[in-house]
């Protein structure tokens, strides 16, 4: 069955719910038992809840996995997957992962005895060189945030597999509609469903998906043991968002391509980061592993940090805000917002210019989006 159809129908059976076309929002924290241990599949809502089960069912389907796990945030999912490891283990991490991912690794899990090496994973030889005898996990994003770097997921996962380590891919930017890392050899896929999966900027939720039974058992244990689970309403909202993911992504990708064409021709734009561009370093890999090139764009202006602030401030259509992946277009300044927790020196080292502007292209009319950007670029 095609993705679009699975996204609408998988995970939930109306015939088991009075024919209700949408999964009921189940609010019970506990479930009655006819005798100790005898229940109808649910005992306590941290361990499982029917609304969450429906969401986890459709998530497993659209990522081509067998089991999915929902969390109260994307970072809750990251926290769960990193707990597969033990003190003394080493992790190779992409050097421009989301700032919050860097923070939990660097500030929290280092204290618990894990060791991290951050490398540019766009070159498989860097990954291999960073491996030590203790490396148990490779953690990457592709496309990455905010430089839209593309890692060859199949090549990276092959290196990790050869060394006996797991590969975890944060697929938030691509979404399961554009890319399925499990098909490329990843062991676990992670999402901040707060973004495209939810799609309407009204819910915070995280996801892990795998097709490895042993990992699924361990992740289910961690999910229940740590307890960062979402409530019924949040699960419902993400499930509803997934039903329109395919059409939203198509429209957002169309808009992104139009915005990139506009930026390419603008005299004040110095550099554009978008994997569809032939001159993008890993354009061919993006073409190979993604269905389209996504709706995230970053660009540098020929101007100062202050000029960048002028471009992003006071826009009529583009909302200045963190996050991404909603129907509304957002723009932001990574150095002072999403990536502020990465030290300035590290930001410089990884090529994150202080004047960089990141766009999350939504599904408004492209002409209105471009008109608003013209005004922004005219402001300095």
Name the one range near ligand PLP by CB under 6 A: 24-32, 57-65, 94-102, 272-280: 94-102
**Contact flag: residue 141 with ligand PLP (CB under 6 A):** yes
**Contact flag: residue 174 with ligand PLP (CB under 6 A):** no
Pick one of 206, 230, 303, 326: the residue that binds ligand PLP (CB under 6 A).
206
**Active site (annotated) includes residue 170:** yes
Q: How far is the CB of 31 from ligand PLP (least distance, A)?
A: 28
Q: How far is the CB of 76 from ligand PLP (least distance, A)?
A: 7
From CA 296, how far away is CA 314, in angstroms rounded? 21
**Contact flag: residue 145 with ligand PLP (CB under 6 A):** yes
**Active site (annotated) includes residue 98:** yes
Name the one range near ligand PLP by CB under 6 A: 17-25, 97-105, 121-129, 180-188: 97-105
Burial class (CB in 10 A: 0-12, 13-18, 19+), 213: exposed
User: Rg for the chain (alpha carbons), in Å?
Assistant: 21
Distances (CA, A) of 343 to 98, 331, 346: 13, 22, 5
Q: Which is the catalytic residue, given 6, 46, 302, 310?
A: 46
Q: Which is the catalytic residue, given 52, 136, 149, 195?
A: 195
Query: Which residues, 6+ apart, have CB-to-CB distance to 282 below 8 Å?
Result: 122, 149, 150, 151, 152, 275
Within positions 63 to 82, which residues make up the interface with ligand PLP, using CB under 6 A? 73-75
Contact 280, 286 (CB under 8 A): yes
Q: Which is the catalytic residue, given 98, 109, 177, 274?
A: 98
Single out the residue of 369, 204, 240 nearest to residue 297, CA to CA.
369
Residue closer to ligand PLP, measured from CB, 352 or 366: 352
**Contact flag: residue 100 with ligand PLP (CB under 6 A):** yes
From CA 341, how far away is CA 347, in angstroms rounded? 10
Bridge-partner residues for 117, per DSSP?
92
Name the one range near ligand PLP by CB under 6 A: 40-48, 98-106, 147-155, 275-283: 98-106
Q: How far is the CB of 151 from ligand PLP (least distance, A)?
A: 13
Number of residues that bind ligand PLP (CB under 6 A): 14
Residue nearest to ligand PLP (CB): 74
**Contact flag: residue 56 with ligand PLP (CB under 6 A):** no
Residue 267 CB coordination number (10 Å): 7
Q: How far is the CB of 84 from ligand PLP (least distance, A)?
A: 17
Task: State the residue for tokens 């380590």.
Answer: 165
Query: What is the CA 290 to chain-centroid distance, rounded?
Result: 14
Residue 13 CB coordination number (10 Å): 11
From CA 322, how far away is CA 324, in angstroms rounded? 7
Which active-site residues does the annotation give? 46, 98, 170, 195
Binding site for ligand PLP (CB under 6 A): 73-75, 98, 100-101, 141, 145, 170, 172, 192, 194, 204, 206
């Amino acid at each position: 069955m095609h993705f679009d159809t699975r996204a609408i129908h998988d995970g939930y059976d109306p015939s088991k719910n009075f024919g209700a076309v949408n999964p009921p929002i189940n609010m019970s924290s506990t479930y009655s038992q006819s005798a100790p241990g005898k229940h109808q599949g649910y005992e306590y809502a941290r361990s499982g809840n029917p609304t969450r089960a429906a969401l986890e069912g459709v998530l497993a389907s659209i990522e081509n996995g067998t089991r999915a796990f929902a969390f109260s945030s994307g970072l809750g999912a990251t926290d769960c997957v990193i707990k597969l490891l033990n003190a003394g283990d080493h992790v190779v991490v992409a050097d421009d992962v989301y700032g919050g991912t860097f923070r939990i690794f660097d500030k929290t899990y280092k204290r618990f005895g894990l060791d991290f090496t951050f490398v540019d994973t766009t070159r498989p030889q860097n990954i291999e060189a960073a491996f030590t005898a203790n490396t148990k996990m490779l953690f990457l994003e592709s496309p990455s945030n905010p430089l839209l770097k593309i890692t060859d997921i199949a090549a990276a996962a092959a290196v990790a597999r050869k060394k006996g380590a797991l590969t975890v891919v944060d697929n938030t930017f691509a979404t399961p509609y554009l890319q399925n890392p499990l098909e490329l050899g990843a062991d676990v896929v992670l999402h901040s469903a707060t973004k495209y999966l939810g799609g309407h900027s009204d819910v915070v939720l995280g996801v892990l998906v795998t097709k490895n039974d042993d990992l699924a058992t361990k992740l289910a244990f961690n999910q229940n043991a740590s307890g960062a689970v979402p409530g019924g309403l949040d699960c419902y909202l993400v499930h509803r968002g997934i039903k329109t993911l395919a059409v939203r992504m198509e429209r957002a990708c169309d808009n992104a391509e139009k915005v990139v064409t506009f930026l390419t021709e603008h005299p004040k734009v110095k550099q554009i980061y978008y994997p569809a561009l032939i001159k993008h370093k890993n354009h061919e890999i993006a073409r190979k592993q993604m269905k389209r090139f996504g709706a995230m764009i970053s660009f540098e202006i020929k101007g100062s940090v202050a000029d960048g602030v002028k471009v992003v401030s006071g826009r009529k259509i583009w909302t200045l805000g963190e996050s991404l992946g909603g129907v509304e277009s957002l723009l932001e300044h990574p150095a002072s917002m999403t990536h502020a927790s990465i030290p300035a020196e590290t930001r410089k080292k990884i090529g994150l210019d202080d004047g960089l502007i990141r766009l999350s292209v939504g599904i408004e009319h492209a002409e209105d989006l471009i008109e608003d950007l013209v005004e922004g670029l005219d402001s300095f």
